[in-house]
Amino acid sequence: MQYVPVVSSIGKPLMPCHAARARQLIRKGRAVGRFNKGIYYLQLLDRADGVIQPIAVGVDPGSKREGFTIKSETHTYLNVQAEAVDWVGKHVEIRKILRRGRRYRQTPYRQNRQNRARGGIPPSTKARWQLKLRVLKWLAALYPISIVVVEDIAAVTKAGKRRWNSSFSPLEVGKAWFYHEVEKMAELWTFKGYQTAAMRQVMGLKKSRQKLATTWDAHCVDSFVLATLVIGGHVEPDNKEMLILVPLQLHRRALHRANPQKGGVRPPYGGTKSLGFKRGSWVKHPTWGVCYVGGASKGRISLHSLATGCPLGEAAYPNRETRGVSIPVLCQLARLSCLIGDR
């Protein structure tokens, strides 16, 4: 990273510094280097506060991929591309089918009741917006973000359909919840998609047609334009390196498997713990190095690569005395699948 995030001795985010300056502060014993979910940052030991300049983060929402850009008037500090959470709706549908199947079989079950905890937002919609909010809170812990700029997306309205237009889409409900939460942490600005496209053309930037590509011009170009609309400054990014975030898809504990196994038995399925280790936690293995925890079977833990997510093996034991998986060294918000140019 060309510019390293800096926090004070009490954890307050300060202005990022150049990498050479960061190395100098560490050599003089004035700061220490740390990691926060894959991002290297500097914590000062002799300062609790400092002068802060306006920093904005642009957010480009999407159905499959989303872009985040942190910039000031002079520098582009970080570009993040995250994969959207798009599997919750299918899981909720499967859960509904299994519950109805148990009722039709005349098996014991609790009485149906409305979900009062979600606040009127469907689980699939809320999961999408919650990921954006978690990413923003994570970035706000490292950078002194004062402005959040979001491309305002809207569902299609229908002429003459009063009932449809009054509450026509969970998208609008989830967006309103997200905006309300963002306003608690920073100043919120929104722009329509056509405004972003017009400004992109004025700045001479082009957007890729490959929406699933891991390139800067796929989504981060719009998040850069959004931040520039408010914060101003340079119109040509000085940093196109990207951080790729892939959320972990944890299989929540279910009553039992959907299909019976040998002997007609439906064994339990799912969970977020693997022999005492939280799934998704980073661990250090003597053979495979730093990796993250997957599932567990027959007293052993499956480990996965941080770079690809592929399984490395299922022969890891949970205690150091046998073959050794060390204690978790870091719990992650989302698995960083790869670093382009530099989770």
Per-residue pLDDT of the chain (343 residues; tens, 9 = 90+): 689 999 999 999 999 999 999 999 999 999 999 988 889 999 999 888 888 899 999 999 988 999 999 999 999 999 999 999 989 888 888 888 877 777 777 766 667 676 655 557 888 888 999 999 999 999 999 999 999 999 998 777 778 777 666 656 778 888 888 999 999 999 999 999 999 999 999 999 999 988 889 899 999 999 999 999 999 888 888 889 999 998 888 877 777 777 788 888 878 777 888 888 888 888 888 888 888 888 887 788 888 888 788 888 666 777 643 333 443 333 333 333 333 333 2
For residues 30 and 309, give the distance between their C-alpha atoms in angstroms, rounded to a whole number.
37
The β-bridge partners of 300 are 297
For residues 113 and 135, give the distance between their C-alpha atoms in angstroms, rounded to a whole number.
33
CB 42 within 8 A of CB 27: no
Burial (CB count within 10 angstroms: exposed 0-12, middle 13-18, buried 19+), residue 93: exposed
DSSP state of 61: -
CB 165 within 8 A of CB 125: no
For residues 23 and 26, give the distance between their C-alpha atoms in angstroms, rounded to a whole number.
5
For residue 247, count other CB atoms closer than 10 A to its CB: 20
**For position 335, what pLDDT does the model report?**
34
Angle at which helices 123-140 and 88-104 cross, to 10° = 140
CB 293 within 8 A of CB 329: no
CA dihedral 94, 98, 103, 108 (to 10 degrees): -130
Per DSSP, helices labelled H in the chain are: 19-27, 88-104, 123-140, 162-166, 170-182, 193-202, 220-231
Domains of the chain (ranges, CATH numbers):
1-51 (no CATH), 53-87+117-246 (3.30.420.40), 249-338 (no CATH)
**For position 340, what pLDDT does the model report?**
30
The dihedrals phi and psi of 96, each to the nearest 5 degrees, come to -65, -40
Closest CA to 16 of 59, 78, 69: 78
- Distances in Å between the Cα of 317 and the Cα atoms of 16, 135, 254, 292, 326 are 41, 32, 25, 14, 10
For residues 20 and 12, give the distance between their C-alpha atoms in angstroms, rounded to a whole number.
22
Residues 6 or more apart whose CB falls under 8 angstroms from that of 213 comprise none
**For position 51, what pLDDT does the model report?**
87
Q: Could you please report the per-residue DSSP string of 194-247?
A: HHHHHHHHHTT----S-TT--STTTTHHHHHHHHHHHH-S-SS-S---EEEEE-
For residues 21 and 36, give the distance between their C-alpha atoms in angstroms, rounded to a whole number.
20
Mapped onto helix, strand or coil, the DSSP state of residue 95 is helix
